[in-house]
Amino acid sequence: MTPLFIAGPCVIESREVLDEVAAELCRLRDELHITIFFKASFDKANRTSLSSYRGPGMEQGLQMLADIKARYALPVLTDIHESHQAAPVAEVADVLQIPAFLCRQTDLLVAAAETGRVVNIKKAQFLSGEDMQYPVEKARAAGASEIWLTERGNTFGYNNLVVDFRNLPVMSRFTERVVMDCTHSVQRPGAAGGKTGGDREYIPAMALAAKAFGANGFFFETHPDPDHALSDGPNMLPLSQLGDVIKTLL
């Protein structure tokens, strides 16, 4: 299966950041002849601290994503946290993403599946690859025609994640499209004083290891200036490095 790529900032910060990232994704799409989805969240409902930036909210965020989709002809992926969000988000997004912490929420999976959009289910930090059979079954029973599964590491506490790459071929038993989240997998959750830390220098290696284990999708949160990003900066890939990483995977 031809690999696809998902890339964009963690959260919608400004039109300027969205435009800068989208323009680079278009350049890479045209130069490398790849399928690439623009990703950004309108609301980060699972931030570590109450004071952390969450995003512009659904109404304004969807309008900003719709503008990016129209101006750059990029398909859009964004996540939903509550079942009532599925239908309005599906009017804009081509892929509805189920956050890892919520991948067992039956109503959320059913609502996403019923929209007819692609559903990308992120594997929870507390589940095995084998466990993802059941979210897939829920989404399929609700009518989802295309389901992706995304690996993003497992947590054992102590502000770190461990990636068991065997989860990738295991999850491929349940769906054809298995994605490696190469940036969230290098997070250090809650390890930066009420914020998430991370080790972005390992992102290229995570991607290559995932390819060796059969991943056919690659997810990168990327930002023009990760050190000043409003969410997940320590584990985001600098936008200037995205093209080189993608080239190694091709």
pLDDT of residue 69: 98
With pLDDT > 90 as the criterion, what percentage of the chain qualifies?
A: 84
Average pLDDT in the chain = 94
pLDDT band at 194 (very low <50, low <70, confident <90, very high): low
Whether 49 has a pLDDT exceeding 80, the answer reads no
pLDDT per residue as tens digits for the range 133-159: 999 999 999 999 999 999 999 987 777
Q: How confident is the model at residue 197 (pLDDT cuts 50, 70, 90)?
A: low
Q: What is the dihedral of CA 98, 41, 190, 105, to 10 degrees?
A: -20
The identity of residue 175, as a single letter, is: T
53-58 long-range Cβ contacts below 8 angstroms, 24+ apart: 53/11, 53/13, 53/230, 53/231, 54/11, 55/11, 55/12, 55/231, 56/12, 58/85, 58/88, 58/89
Alpha-carbon distances of 140 from 15, 119, 136, rounded to whole Å: 36, 10, 6
pTM: 0.93
- Taken in order of first residue, the domains within the chain and their CATH numbers are 4-249 (3.20.20.70)
pLDDT in the model for residue 46: 74
Does position 191 have pLDDT exceeding 50, yes or no? Answer: no
**Predicted confidence (pLDDT) per residue in 63-92, tens digit:** 999 999 999 999 999 999 999 999 999 999
pLDDT in tens, 100-124: 999 999 999 999 999 999 999 999 9
Taking residues 23-48, what's their average pLDDT?
93
Per-residue model confidence (pLDDT) at position 193: 54
What local confidence, expressed as pLDDT, does residue 110 receive?
98
